[in-house]
Amino acid sequence: MKPDPRALRNQPAYGATEAARYLRLPVATLRTWLVGRAYPKGGEQATFHPLIKPACGQPLQLSFFNLIEAHVLRALRTEHGVALPELRKAIAYAQKKLDIDRLLLSQELRTHAGQVFLDRYLELINLSASGQLAMRRLFEDHLKRVEWDEWKFPVRLYPYVDGTRGGSDHPIAIDPQVAFGRPVIQRVGVSTAAIADRIDAGEKVADLAADYDLSPEEIEQAVLYSRAA
């Protein structure tokens, strides 16, 4: 019997530090989303509860599905610096109203469910009209970087190369069924870390491009991604 690929995508595969590098997130931020944290409030100790349930708590490890959830949260949280309580309220509202389990993992975010979620989110954070437009476009761009299968589950993530540039190019891919889920140049499946290591060892961009049948630009993107991560 053929194993269910969805099971592979839900297995522990990434430590918090590694996942944070791939997603261009501070490790402390990702850990807070996964395990929560205590913080002072009015002279007392309050608790921030997790937003994502990790695949494994001890030791802390994320699955590929957790990567997708954190990727979506990054779009909603870190780009605009919006307070997390409002984000939590919007997630709870959308999940209750739309009856979708693990909303941040759902392809429904690209359809009506995403519209309802964003409407509620923008209502809570009270953004200006221009800010709302920027938020919607940013969110759409992040969602376009996730590829879903026929059952509407994520199968591939195309992370940003340097964390600051958008665009439609997707040179790097993270796929649980390729290179043990580590980032690769998606056209040929070669690990970005392997390319960066060879460059660090003194090999030339042109030589690596010939070895892997890649363009010099693809080699440079792999190095940029690997080193920025």
Give the model confidence (pLDDT) of 21-53 as tens digits.
999 899 999 999 999 888 787 788 878 888 899
Domain extent, residue 201, equals: 158-229
In a domain, 220, yes or no: yes
In a domain, 147, yes or no: no
In a domain, 132, yes or no: no
In a domain, 199, yes or no: yes
Do 70 and 19 form a contact (C-beta atoms < 8 A)?
Answer: yes
185: domain CATH number is 1.10.10
Q: Residue 50, preceding bond cis, omega within 30 degrees? A: no
Q: For the chain, report the end-to-end CA distance as a whole number of angstroms.
A: 38
Q: How many domains does the chain have?
A: 1
What is the pTM assigned to this prediction?
0.83
Helices (H) and strands (E) in the chain, counts: 10, 9
Q: What are phi and psi of 12, to 5 degrees?
A: -60, 130
**C-alpha 133 chain-centroid distance:** 21
Question: How many other β-carbons are positioned within 10 Å of the β-carbon of residue 38?
Answer: 9
In a domain, 170, yes or no: yes
In a domain, 91, yes or no: no
In a domain, 197, yes or no: yes
Give the model confidence (pLDDT) of 154-207 as tens digits.
999 999 886 555 555 788 999 999 999 999 998 899 999 999 999 999 999 999
In a domain, 198, yes or no: yes
